[in-house]
Structure 1
């Protein structure tokens, strides 16, 4: 489908789609969905964009809270990214999770939207302590591919790219993409959709980086555990979510305004 036909884009999902790691709640969040909307608007087409995602949401919550509003907006393009929060919970039912995801695939495609989804990288290369969830993510990716094939959904294979596990594409919490990471995801989606001006440079490796010493690596792990792992575990024990009391940042279709020069160049300037 030519880029000019994607004039109403709606994003559904959790923190990744909301844009955590790319900006903050003070200056505002950007994220891969915002950046993909800008790719769509290149060339002067008036693209309308809504982002219904809310951090912390499980796949069932995304379906229950966001699918109806998304359908009401009559998108011709929709992204659906959900399931990682489920995989992080002690009780994970892959069949139930993909059931919610597939229901969104089916409803949106039947309504005439071109649906796009992502696969997830091996987070154990970023967070070694996450080894127990690696089989869950591999299973989830396989089920996403199968469900997508059944409904004609486009899969952006970010999970298979080696660069996806470069630490510089991840934020300090190691759970959310950095600004450069979000830009790479958006560029991957643009390439998969065949948007004008897109190419495969999103998958290219970054310049070599200095490898930390053993002592530096240990110190970094301890600081990360204190700053991020501890609070995350605390929320789980209290049955709380980072998204409690939050609503979507862009619930209505609004015109896309391209505000940055080259987002990829901006990301490169953030490299250590």
Structure 2
């Protein structure tokens, strides 16, 4: 049985953090595709994608490929923008999931971890970001309850907060992190009866070995330009979150009975 796997999503789904010697990205979806004896694999993910980009920019191409498995991981970029609106994200994810499953695909989704801990954010920023990520998880819970499929719950695994599983930017998984995610999906697919020939190795190999020089090059070539592009939105977003958190604390203090 040849498995048609199509990946939709953002930079993590693209494979960023798991570079190959030829300069391309592999990532967990590519590693997962390699676990099947035969497969047809297409990665439609785009760095920086948000839920409307997937629905309106990636979904049509995915449906043309008639996938057996459709990886749908997107939404974290939405939570890190000043215009984050759970109702809008829910609508885009629900419509995308409905179209994919309606075409016969089995969904691959995930519940996201508290990435504020990975970033090492102070509580003033970490708490509001985590609340947004929890709102995203609630949407994915609804998607999973309605459309089923295979889901990895990253809130229930301890390895997600280990530094070795993250690239130098602490935003994208490292090769090991991608391998762990691919392994988690492969175990569930195997247990569900999919023809998984061999689980992905949890030993980092075959990619581009991380070195201080490679990390420095990444920061100069990719990291700094990325930060510059996002600063116009992320800085106001961070300031807004911090302000709202301070206001929330003040209101809670006002409601608390005097000691």
TM-score, length-scaled by structure 1: 0.70
**Counterpart residue number, 1:28:** 24
Cα distance, 1:232 vs structure 2: 4.6
**Counterpart residue number, 1:236:** 230
The Cα offsets for residues 190-234 of structure 1, whole Å up to 9 and x where unpaired, read as 1121254667997xxxxxxxxxxxxxxxxxxxx9xx978875553
Show the 5 A alignment for 1:80-99.
80-99=72-91
C-alpha distance in 1 between matches for 2:40 and 2:200: 26
Q: 1:104 aligns with which of 84, 92, 96?
A: 96
**Counterpart residue number, 1:179:** 175
Q: 2:144 aligns with which of 136, 141, 148?
A: 148
Contact 1:188 1:200 in 2 (8 A): no
Distance verdict in 2 for CA 1:200–1:25, change over 3 Å: closer
Cα distance, 1:53 vs structure 2: 0.5
C-alpha distance in 1 between matches for 2:8 and 2:141: 18
Give the match's secondary structure for 1:97.
helix
**Counterpart residue number, 1:259:** none
C-alpha distance in 2 between matches for 1:87 and 1:19: 20
Cα distance, 1:8 vs structure 2: 1.0
Ranges of 4+ aligned residues in structure 1 off by more than 4 Å: 197-202, 226-233, 237-240
Give the match's secondary structure for 2:169.
coil
**Counterpart residue number, 2:186:** 190
Worse-superposed segment, 91-100 or 69-78:
91-100
**Counterpart residue number, 1:253:** none
C-alpha distance in 2 between matches for 1:63 and 1:25: 32
C-alpha distance in 2 between matches for 1:50 and 1:199: 20
Cα distance, 1:94 vs structure 2: 1.4
Give the match's secondary structure for 1:23.
coil
Superposed CA RMSD: 2.7
Contact 2:179 2:200 in 1 (8 A): no
The higher relative CO (CA closer than 8 Å, separation ≥ 6) is in 1
Contact 1:158 1:188 in 2 (8 A): no
Give the match's secondary structure for 1:32.
helix
Give the match's secondary structure for 2:36.
helix
Give the match's secondary structure for 2:94.
helix
Name structure 1 gaps, 5 residues minimum. 203-222, 241-272
Name structure 2 gaps, 5 residues minimum. 203-215, 235-259
Q: Does 1:78 align with 2:70?
A: yes
